Amino acid sequence: MRKCKFIHAADLHLGTPLQSSYNLPEELSKILQEATYDALEGICDLAIYHDVDFIIFSGDVFDQEARSIRALEFFKKQINKLKENKIFVYMIGGNHDPINKETISFFKDCENLWIFGSDKAEEKDFLTKDNLLVRVIGQSYRSRADSRKMANCFNPVDDFSFNIGVVHTQLDPHNNNYVPCSLTELKSKKDIDYWALGHIHKGKIISDNKPTVVYPGTPQGRHVGEEGPRYCVLVTAEDKNIKDISFLLTSPVIWYEIEVSIDESYKLAPKNIVELEELLISKIEEINDINKKNIKGHMIRWVITGKTSLHEQLEEQQDEVKEKILDTLRRKFLSEDSFVWSDSILFRTNKPLPSVEKLKKQSEIFGYLDELARECLTDNSLKNEIIKELGEVWEWESDHENYNEDRLQLNEEILSALIEQAKEHSIESLLERREKN
């Protein structure tokens, strides 16, 4: 059998520090500064450990067109380490690191690195240790946005070779900033066996066969929006068949957004701030047990929800309470082998209200309110009217990289939370008015 083994990674954004909301202790701050570099080093070590033939980087290895000299030097050092281990590297430039002459010339003495140009699709042949001929076809961005339908020009000669297409794309045929293309188009290219994609930061196997289409995701999340463990992908193929795809952990730091409901309906709902702290400590102990291995640390954003008698205190003394809870949690878990840093805490609690069933007995109006809130979400014309009424300060979230910073982004989840809040506010005001009368 003729075999091939390679690692596919993307979107490293080398050198970007992770975004914490607080002035961290120096030790932690250093870990966060270095995390993207650590992730790259980890990918290269995994490549050596698994004895792969080559690594593919599908764009956005660097964070900006003006690459930092440290990022360039660091990348070169890793490439040289791979060379000693006879591992080749292919890379394309994405929207954050379109390829220019300076980059090509910086790496010109790296014999085991091929950077695909931006003028046209290029095809490179590779013969693996186990004698499989591999063709890697790729093309780089030429500027921060690229509207060319690159994949259409990927036409390898299909004989017995294993063919890989490398594209940095949003996989959206209508998006002209990030190489428009659809999954159907990629799947119609029968001569390509594996599509090595980049750009979407959450790893996913889009199609598992004929052809296989994969986003490895970013190997190190840089903020709480990129939560969870992060990976690169190890692919094993025999002739033209994919035998295995494994996600290998690469992120030294893992972000978590943890929602904790302290709703009164739960038996163990905390009745004061100390009990709330205890509940959060028990949640940390759960994650800490699972992920200690190979992880330098965890960054947590807490979101506290539910109807609770603590609501008023959490609202009125918000800053004090936040500081107290975060301080307790931070101090408790700082000295662990694998640190757990409570980065921020959001209170999205509500005042406890009687159930709608109970309220209905007081007055029909509560039943109508509940019904209306439901209709706002299910009746499309009503829903559109509400979005219009919200005004121009909102825009429907469509493009995760290209949103308007002067607007608030709206999606199904946020809209439904807004409507729920509106309903509860109305119920609260009606109840207050009744109490007064």
Residues that bind Mn ion (CB under 5 A): 60, 94-95, 199
Residue nearest to Mn ion (CB): 199
User: Closest distance between Mn ion and the C-beta of residue 140, in Å?
Assistant: 12
Q: Which is nearer to Mn ion, 2 or 199 (CB)?
A: 199
My answer on whether omega of the bond before 211 falls inside 30° of 0, hence cis, is yes
Q: Which two tokens stand for residue 339?
A: 């640190």
Q: Which is nearer to Mn ion, 161 or 169 (CB)?
A: 169
Q: Which is nearer to Mn ion, 233 or 237 (CB)?
A: 233
Q: Which is nearer to Mn ion, 78 or 95 (CB)?
A: 95
User: Closest distance between Mn ion and the C-beta of residue 79, in Å?
Assistant: 21
Q: What is the strand order of the sheet 297-307 is part of?
A: 253-261, 297-307, 339-350
User: Closest distance between Mn ion and the C-beta of residue 328, in Å?
Assistant: 39
d(C-alpha 143, C-alpha 150), whole Å: 14
User: Closest distance between Mn ion and the C-beta of residue 89, in Å?
Assistant: 19
- As to burial, measured by CB atoms within 10 angstroms (0-12 exposed, 13-18 middle, 19+ buried), residue 155 is middle
d(C-alpha 91, C-alpha 231), whole Å: 17
Q: Which is nearer to Mn ion, 59 or 229 (CB)?
A: 59
Q: Which is nearer to Mn ion, 5 or 168 (CB)?
A: 168
Q: Which is nearer to Mn ion, 95 or 128 (CB)?
A: 95
Nearest alpha carbon to residue 354 among 433, 262, 265: 265
β pairing state of 122-127 and 133-138? antiparallel
User: Closest distance between Mn ion and the C-beta of residue 66, in Å?
Assistant: 16
Q: Which is nearer to Mn ion, 95 or 163 (CB)?
A: 95
User: Closest distance between Mn ion and the C-beta of residue 225, in Å?
Assistant: 14
User: Closest distance between Mn ion and the C-beta of residue 31, in Å?
Assistant: 25
Report CA Rg, the chain. Answer: 26
User: Closest distance between Mn ion and the C-beta of residue 200, in Å?
Assistant: 8
